[in-house]
């Protein structure tokens, strides 16, 4: 009996979908817009994360050592820094590498190069270029160099200068920008999704309203609530599946046309390649969102609007 009723419910759901063709088309189009907003939020998040990652990657602090520092002591400090939980990467620049980079930067400045040649020794010390996992953690890393771990074997400090304190204002501003951007993006995404779901719910509720006489007849002949709701929930699921497929098809040419724009203006992310590479996850999210919205909206519309 259960399977018989289930088959009837599914068959009735498909019948309602095809019989109310215009209304079904309207519901599908509204859900396409809703799912497009959800999908757009995914791509917006990817672009934002890529942009923020690029900004974070451009921020670091440089620790310069005195010229008399022994390389072994500098490497020992490097090893200690790498052990910090806040540190993502540490690059060691030897005195020779520092001199080579300096000469490369000033290769067109003959006066500076001549002055450098007159010196008996390399005037540049070794350095560490340090990247934190998050810009807000640079202060803790800078504080580390005031500890005993930044001392040489004889107990004297081998640190000449740390540029964090010169860049502190810029790093603090960047941290606030990143945090604000993440909060605004999250809030905007939630707002758009909620508004889209409300519109979808009202559209499906209007669709069910047109079948109110049919529902009344079903109640008069003794149909239970599940049997009445079932076909509408099935129709809602069909709306969701069709809308999801259409949305995914729309995203293909949209991301393809935007790939050059995003690659050139949004720190190198190719939106089309992102779509293809993450198609399985996007497919599951869009399809599941469509099915869930269609089924839940239909269920609630019947329950609340028609007071079953």
Give the pLDDT of residue 12.
64
Give residue 248's pLDDT.
92
The tokens describing 92, both together, are 């060691």
Listed in sequence order, the DSSP H helices in 59-126 are 71-82, 95-105, 110-117
pLDDT computed for residue 153 by the predictor: 60
**What pLDDT does residue 284 have?**
92
Select from 293, 289, 302 the least CA-distant residue to 232.
302
pLDDT in tens, the chain (308 residues): 556 656 766 676 667 667 666 777 777 888 888 888 888 878 877 777 777 677 667 677 888 888 888 888 888 888 888 888 888 888 888 888 877 887 777 777 777 667 667 666 777 788 888 888 877 788 888 888 776 555 556 666 778 788 776 666 766 676 677 677 777 777 777 777 677 667 767 777 776 676 666 666 666 666 666 766 777 778 888 888 988 999 999 999 888 887 766 666 655 678 888 888 889 999 998 998 888 888 877 777 776 555 55
Cα torsion through 92, 96, 98, 104, rounded to 10: -130
Instruction: Give Cβ neighbours of residue 37 (< 8 Å, ≥ 6 apart).
Output: 192, 193, 196
Residues 263-295: b if buried by 16+ CB within 10 A, e if exposed: eeebbebbbbebbeeeeeebeebbbebbbebbb
Domain with CATH 3.30.70.3040 in the chain: 67-157
So what's the pLDDT on residue 149?
A: 58
> How high is the pLDDT of residue 255?
85
- Provide the pairing of β-strand 127-132 with 61-65: antiparallel
Contact 178, 186 (CB under 8 A): no
**Residue 64 bridge partners (DSSP):** 127, 161
State how far the Cα of 41 lies from the Cα of 251, in Å rounded to an integer.
12
| pLDDT at residue 163, rounded to an integer | 79
Classify domain 67-157 by CATH architecture. 2-Layer Sandwich (3.30)
Read off the tokens for 269: 């992310």
pLDDT on residue 72: 83
Q: Supply the pLDDT for residue 258.
A: 79
């Amino acid at each position: 009996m259960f399977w018989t009723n289930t088959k009837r419910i599914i068959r009735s759901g498909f019948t309602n979908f095809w019989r109310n063709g215009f209304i079904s088309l309207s519901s599908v189009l509204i859900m396409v817009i809703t799912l497009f907003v959800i999908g757009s939020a995914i791509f917006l998040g990817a672009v934002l994360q890529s942009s923020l990652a690029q900004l974070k990657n451009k921020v670091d602090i440089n620790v310069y050592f005195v010229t008399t520092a022994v390389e072994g002591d500098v490497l020992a400090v490097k090893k200690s820094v790498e052990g910090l939980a806040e540190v993502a990467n540490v690059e060691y620049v030897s005195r020779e590498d520092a001199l080579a980079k300096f000469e490369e930067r000033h290769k067109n400045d003959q006066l500076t190069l001549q002055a450098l040649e007159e010196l008996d020794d390399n005037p540049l010390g070794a350095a560490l270029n340090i990247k934190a996992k998050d810009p807000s953690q640079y202060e803790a890393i800078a504080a580390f160099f005031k500890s005993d771990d930044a001392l040489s074997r004889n107990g004297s400090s081998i640190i000449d200068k740390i540029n964090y304190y010169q860049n502190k204002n810029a790093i603090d501003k960047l941290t606030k920008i990143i945090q604000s951007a993440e909060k605004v993006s999250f809030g905007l995404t939630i707002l758009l999704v909620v508004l889209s779901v409300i519109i979808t719910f009202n559209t499906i509720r209007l669709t069910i309203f047109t079948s109110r006489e049919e529902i009344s007849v079903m109640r008069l002949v003794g149909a239970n609530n599940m049997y009445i709701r079932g076909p509408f929930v099935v129709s809602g699921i069909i709306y969701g599946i069709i809308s999801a497929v259409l949305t995914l098809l729309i995203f293909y040419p949209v991301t393809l046309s935007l790939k050059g724009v995003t690659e050139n203006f949004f720190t190198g992310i190719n939106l089309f390649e992102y779509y293809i590479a993450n198609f399985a996850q996007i497919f599951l999210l869009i399809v599941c969102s469509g099915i869930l919205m269609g089924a839940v909206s239909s269920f609630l519309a019947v329950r609340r609007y028609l007071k079953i």
